[in-house]
Amino acid sequence: MIDRGYYGEFGGAFLPEILVATFDELVEEFQKAKNDPSFWEEYTEIMSTYSCRPTPLTFAENLTKHFGGARIYIKREDLNHTGAHKANNVMGQGLLVKRMGKTRVIAETGAGQHGGATATMAAKFGFKCTIYMGEVDVERQRPNVFWMERLGAEVIPVREGTRILKDAINEAFRDWVTNMDNTHYVLGTACGPHPFPEMVSYFQSIIGTEARKQILDREGRLPTRVYACVGGGSNAMGIFSGFFDDPVELVGVEAAGRGLNSGQHATRLSSKDASIGVAQGYKTYFLQDQDGQMKETHSVAAGLDYVGVSPILSNLRESGRVRFEAATDREVVDALSLTIKKEGLIPALESAHAFVQVFKEAPTLSKDDIILINQSGRGDKDIFTVADAFADPGWQEFIKKKAEGYRHA
Amino acid sequence: MLESYLRTRLKEKEILLMTHIVLGYPTFEDSFKIIEAMVEAGVDIMELQIPFSEPIADGPVILHANQKSLAGGATVQKCLDFAQEVAQAFDISFLFMSYYNILFKYGVDRFASETAKRGLQGAIVPDLPPEEGQTYLRAMQEHNLAPIFIFSPTTPDDRMEYLASFGRGFIYCVARKGVTGADTTFSEQLDSYLARCRKATDLPLALGFGVKEKRDIDFLKGKVDIAVIGSQTIRLVEKEGVGVVGSFIKKLR
């Protein structure tokens, strides 16, 4: 094996022997691509023509007035093709797959956004595509399954374990150990064995690079604090990476679900329920019991409902470079509601976690301070989940009538 | 220790049999009965899998057994106690098999020391390559235990030699790509892979993944030292119950 990819004591590559050669090849191709200036050019070209890069930076004037503190800016990753930052990573890995000459891609998905993005990439580049999705997530994100299938992907519901994101990752690995000759596993977040944390962060760094330039153009100075929600950690790594060398406070917000004391959450870096472990090929903080068995997790946002977290973020927590907070399901729905009404923006439930923390802290800062939030995805495409989160009676009535209509179809 | 045990047995048998069970599946009582039947039927060495919630290298059969064992209340402590009981009761070699997180959370040194104290001979940890296993390798050596390493058809020759330099007891050769429990074609293709394995090490060779009937084992005679039966006995227990394990094993050799 070539390079182990450690961040402090976190990361590594805890691989079954059958995959070692595949990872060696991936590490080598990624290094070659990184050292080839034309690769990043090709990447930014495709992101500006196939997706909407650079994504805009929006000044949230009404929210700023509402809280009467720091000036709030929002980085609009929701305006990417397929509606989330996931496109950045997927297109980058797609270009690598072309370089490696492979013809099939597989991916796990939680909310369905990474799966959807991978399916579009596969359609565009002409790859065969299989998406693994926990059965629970298939049920709560049916519209995304519909689109993945229309895009030509095969969506396989995973009925093992807790039937959510981590189980989908396990199944994708099981596919990969069989089909590695022609297949690349497009891991969706900055987790997993080396080189995935580094590689996914590399592609997502386009967010931070753009955001830093945009805020300097607009305000002539750096933000005081930057906020991002943290599931696996890829959107957070993306925006944070633009500010690592600046005197800027970085804040990651995890899913507190039904509360940190409820045992039903996905808070790894800001709760006592997590400890260091090794699973899914890497070492990081996991929500696990004393024996090392992974626990069930919960979040209203399927994309944050994950048992581990990027090893790079675990290291940044240990070093104190990033502060971690958590937002409950209830707080998230309130923050989403306020953002929709005040700004006409519809963040994804995942992204709304970052807004919760901003709304807590903005009033305590001065009017000279600047806050930057990464709106990692859009919420309107998750209408079934969001409507449920709001318990919207009109929507429920509509669904009942719609179902009635299908009964006779 | 393990290697000399295997070599002694190989003087009397053309090929040795290693079987695999998931501890606590369906219950610990059944696990005991299965082991008893296997030893009686002539099994030479057994892998005792400590269940883990994320067994990434295992296929559906062993995965389900892991999940059901955990749902039934299996803990690492119960597995250690149980292993001690069987190691005392039966005169064959036993190994632990589990994923690295189980050892890591228990404490790698403590795990090795308990493994030795309870009379087991070694361990198979499929997600721990030697590059990540410095602590583990030291602890295993200190307690005179065999760390079993794995060759796969995708492993290049130089890496086989590298892995063999850390291995003790025997080398576990995976017959094909994929996870446990799927079919393997026992053909001449396998021969050239096994020849590469043989060249890379003087340790005894075991072959597993997809071995499920007498024909497979006959094919392996003279080519490897140990045939490994994994998922097939678990499948059998699921379908026909614990009672048929003994007669199944007896028919294999």
How is residue A222 written in tokens?
Answer: 């750096």
Whether residue A2 has pLDDT greater than 80: no
Provide residues of A within 8 Å CB-CB of chain B: 1, 4, 12-22, 160-161, 166, 170, 173-174, 177-180, 275, 277-281, 286, 288, 290-294
pLDDT 10s digits, B12-51: 999 999 999 999 999 999 999 999 999 999 999 999 999 9
Contact of A108 with A165, CB cutoff 8 Å: yes
Sort A97 into a burial class: Cβ within 10 Å, 0-12 / 13-18 / 19+.
buried
The residue with greater pLDDT, B127 or B180, is B127
Distance, in Å, from the CA atom of A379 to the CA atom of A218, rounded to the nearest integer, reads 27
Per-residue pLDDT band at B178 (split at 50, 70, 90): confident
**Residue pair A282/A288 in contact by the 8 Å Cβ criterion:** no
Report whether CATH 2.40.50.840 matches the domain A53-83+206-389. Answer: no
CA atoms within 13 A on the CB side of B245: 28
pLDDT at A3: 57
Selecting from A17, A174, A177 the residue whose C-beta is nearest the C-beta of B151 gives A17
Interface test with A, best of B50, B56, B63 (most A CBs within 10 A): B56
Q: Where does CATH 3.40.50.1100 sit in chain A?
A: 19-48+85-196, 53-83+206-389
Q: Cα dihedral sign for A372, A165, A266, A316? A: negative
* Mutate which: A291, A294, A296, vs B, most B CBs within 10 A: A291
Mean pLDDT confidence for B86-102: 98
Report the distance separating Cα B160 and Cα B130, nearest Å.
Answer: 12
> Does residue B58 have an active-site annotation?
yes
- Phi first, then psi, for residue B146 (nearest 5°) are -95, 115
* DSSP code at position B51: P
Are residues A266 and A402 in contact, defined by beta-carbon separation less than 8 angstroms? no
- Beta carbons of A17 and B150 less than 8 Å apart: yes
Residue B73, chain A, CB below 8 Å: the answer is: no
What global pTM score does this model have? Answer: 0.96
Q: Which letter does DSSP use for residue A296 in this model?
A: P
Kindly tell me if the per-residue pLDDT of A238 is higher than 60.
yes
Please say if the pLDDT value at position A14 is more than 80: yes
| Chosen from B23, B52, B53 to mutate, greatest number of chain A CBs within 10 A | B53
Q: How many CB atoms lie within 10 A of CB A306?
A: 27
User: B2-242 has which CATH code?
Assistant: 3.20.20.70
Which chain A residues contact residue B129 at CB under 8 A? Answer: 1, 13-15, 17, 20
Q: Do B131 and A13 touch (CB under 8 A)?
A: yes
CB contact B231 to A (< 8 Å)? no
Say yes or no for a CB contact (<8 Å) between A21 and B154: yes
Domain ranges of chain B: 2-242
Return the CATH number of A19-48+85-196, one of 3.40.50.360, 3.30.390.30, 3.40.50.1100, 3.40.50.720: 3.40.50.1100
**Active-site choice (A29, A108, A171, A210):** A108
Q: What is the Cα–Cα distance from A204 to A84, expressed in whole angstroms?
A: 11
Judged by CB atoms closer than 8 Å, whether chains meet at A292 and B174 is answered as no
